[in-house]
Each structure stands twice: as structure tokens, then as C-alpha cells.
Chain A
Amino acid sequence: MPSDLEPIPGTTLFDGEAARKGYALNALCFSFNEKANRDAFLADEAAYLARFNLTPEQHEAVAQRDVLGMIAAGGNIYYLAKLAGICSLNVQDVGSMQTGVSVDKFKAMLLAQGRGETYEAAHKEMLNG
């Protein structure tokens, strides 16, 4: 099998199918460029979400702050980052949520790569350490 067709582990390409499926969820996140919308979300999350045509899967993922669930439901990280910002989560927090380890362990994995370890070695230590 040519390597081009092999799946990339732990990775979802945001393609046309995802863009169609995720449109409402990403539109929700895009709306957060405006402060009034962020404030409305924070004031009454359920009411704000109701303005968007989220699928039940998307609604649940947002309610649970389930990042992998949002991606599975078509969320794109460039837009999801705006939702993360409202929730005061940075990209290490989001990394920790997606890898299932503590933020400290996730950061240690990044620093290990900075010291010259491969991702594979650093990732293994993160899960075992």
C-alpha cells in the first residue's frame, strides 16, 4: 500500500466531509470572534448554543468540553481554539485533554522533544511515566 493511503495515527484531516459535518459547530466557534457573542455564551451557554443548528453529537461534545468528540463531529482546531480561549484553556490544556494525561505530563513530552527525543519516545514516556 502506498504510504499516502496509510492512515496517520491520532490524526483527522479536516476535509470536505468534516467541513460539511462540522459546519454548525465551527460557525459557533467562529462567532466567538465577537466579544458580545462570547459574553452571551458565558452568560447562558444553553441559550447561546440553541442559536446554532448543532447536531446532538456536537452539542454533547461542547457541553462536556470533549475536544476529541468535537473533532469527531467535524470541529476544526483553528476554530475550536476560540472556544478553548473562552474556557481559559491554552493549547497545552487542549493537548492534555486529547491525550488523556495531565497538563504537566503533556508539557514534559513537548520539552523532551526539545531535548532531542523523538515524538515516539517522548510520547511513550508520557503515557507510561
Chain B
Amino acid sequence: MAEIVGAYFTSHVPSIGGAIHRGLKQDPYWKPFFDGFPPVHEWLAKVKPDVAVVFSNDHGLNFFLDKMPTFAVGAASEYANADEGWGLPLYKGFTGHPELSWHIIEGLVEDEFDPVTCQSMLVDHALSIPFELAYPDVEEWPVRLVPIGINTVQHPLPSAKRCLALGRSVHKALASWKGDERIVVIGTGGLSHQLDGERAGFMNADYDRFCLDNLAGDPDALTKDSIREIVRLAGTQGVEVLNWIAARGALGPRAREIHRNYHQPISNTAAATVLYEPA
């Protein structure tokens, strides 16, 4: 039987990739963020996942406004990164796990979710940066990927309640998967930040703490707020916490926090890195 070894959550600010590239991990500005990663490296070396189910949001690489799925499940055998418009060096690609992707899709549709299925899908910094942080020195990623995209770009967004339910349905599918994989669930993005408007630069440590204090033990607490209220509390891009909420659902009913690092600001963002194990 496959085993869900735990969940890893982190922010995906594009400039993190730049800091890695320029060797700035020990720079005073970056150090408090990168200091959150040795426990992640040790944990991954211990639990040795070989599949990652990752909840993230596209930032205008794979999807445009011509077709904007609320939920999208990748079912490709390979996933490449591509130029996101900044001409930066490309991130490594991923090997997929299409059999598991389709098993998840079957489970989701049986549970009355209606995801878009993608046999071709580019993955952007939201997916690549968490892997660069988790596996800093590898030639190839040691895990196969099942990416699940959530629309955090164009309102109406799916509610937090719906995202948690989606994650729980993914958990059900993972629990019924007959393979012997070791699965890590990943949620990327957030926490509070706002890039646009006169309120640009908004962060909210109190709301972030509320999320971090409840996500393991009572994730339903995060679903009481409407999307609009989450935008008010977390900022226009802080709604990326939806990825965390869905990933928490996919981990399973009970979770125990084994690591937490919170630091602001990284660029315009309150950044956090968290590990959970099933409890």
C-alpha cells in the first residue's frame, strides 16, 4: 500500500529563485528564510518520498484568461518549466506519474468534483521553487509529480471550504491507491501578501499565525472566511493559502506539526515553511 509520509508547505516568491541562483542563502536579508530549510532536508532524507502531489497556482505560464480552470489536474508523463517572461534560467523539469494522476481524477469526479485534466502542462516557479528549496543539490528531482492547480487568479475563486474538500477527496484517492509509493503532499504560495493596488505591501502576521496555528489541528477553521474576507485578511495574492488548505486536506484527517518557520518580508511577502506528519 502507498504511504502518505507527510506534508511540506512553503512560499514560492520568484525572487527566492534569484537568491538561490546568486548564492545569497547566507545573506542577512535571506538567511532567516533559508534557515527554515535544514529541517526540511533532514525530514525528506528520513521519510524518502518518491511521489509528490503538489497543490499550486499558475501565474500565467500554462493558463491564460482564454481558459481558466478552477481546478486542474496534471496527467502528463513529463512536465517542463518555461520562460515566464523574465528570461531567467529554466528550472528542471519533472517526471510525471500519469497512472496516479488518473486515479486521482477518477476519485475526484466520483466525489462530484469536475477538474480539467491536462496531459500537457507547463509548471511555473510556484512549483519549481519549493523543489529547489527542498532538494538543493540534486541533478534530477527524486520524486515523480502529480500537479494540481487551483485558480487563485481570476475571481470567482473556489471557496476555502471547497478547496479543503478537494484535498480530502485527493486523500481518499491516495489512500485507495494500490501502489507502494511513498507520497509527500505539498502546498505552495502565500502567506499574506499583496502586490497590486494602493494597498501593495500589505502583510498580516496575525492572520498568518491564525492559519498556521489551526491548519494542522482544525483546518476547517480556515474555511469560515469567504474568499473576499481572505483577500481582506491575507491580501490579493495571500489567497494562495488555498493551496495550503487543499494540501492539508490531502494529508488526511489528523496531522501533527513537526516544523515551522515564519519570516517577513521576503520581497513583498510573509514567507512560511512548515512540515506535518500524519497523526
Residues of B bordering A, CB below 8 Å: 15, 59-61, 64-65, 68, 82-87, 153-156, 194-205, 226, 228-229, 231-232, 236-237, 263-265, 267-268, 270
Contact = CB atoms under 8 A, between A and B. Distances in A.
A33 B200 contact: no
A84 to B, nearest CB: 9
Given A4-B229, A33-B61, 19 more contacts: A4-B228, A11-B197, A11-B199, A13-B155, A15-B155, A23-B65, A38-B85, A38-B87, A76-B153, A81-B59, A86-B85, A91-B195, A92-B267, A95-B268, A98-B196, A98-B200, A106-B200, A113-B203, A119-B203
A5 B263 CA distance: 31
26 contacts: A4-B228, A10-B198, A11-B199, A13-B236, A14-B153, A16-B154, A16-B156, A26-B64, A27-B64, A30-B60, A33-B60, A33-B61, A35-B83, A38-B85, A38-B87, A67-B196, A77-B195, A78-B153, A82-B84, A85-B85, A85-B86, A90-B15, A94-B195, A95-B200, A99-B200, A119-B204
A123 interface: yes
B196 A71 contact: yes
Interface string A78-106: 11111001100011101100110000001
Interface of A: 3-4, 8-16, 19, 23, 26-27, 29-30, 32-35, 38, 67-68, 71, 76-82, 85-86, 90-92, 94-95, 98-99, 106, 109-111, 113-114, 116, 119, 123
Given A8-B199, A71-B196, A110 B87 contact: no
The secondary-structure label for the interface of chain A is helix
A37 to B, nearest CB: 9
Contacts of B64: 26-27, 30
The secondary-structure label for the interface of chain B is loop
Given A4-B229, A110-B268, A99 B201 contact: yes
Contacts of A38: 85, 87
A82 to B, nearest CB: 3
Contact of A99 (B153, B198, B228): B198
A77 B236 contact: yes
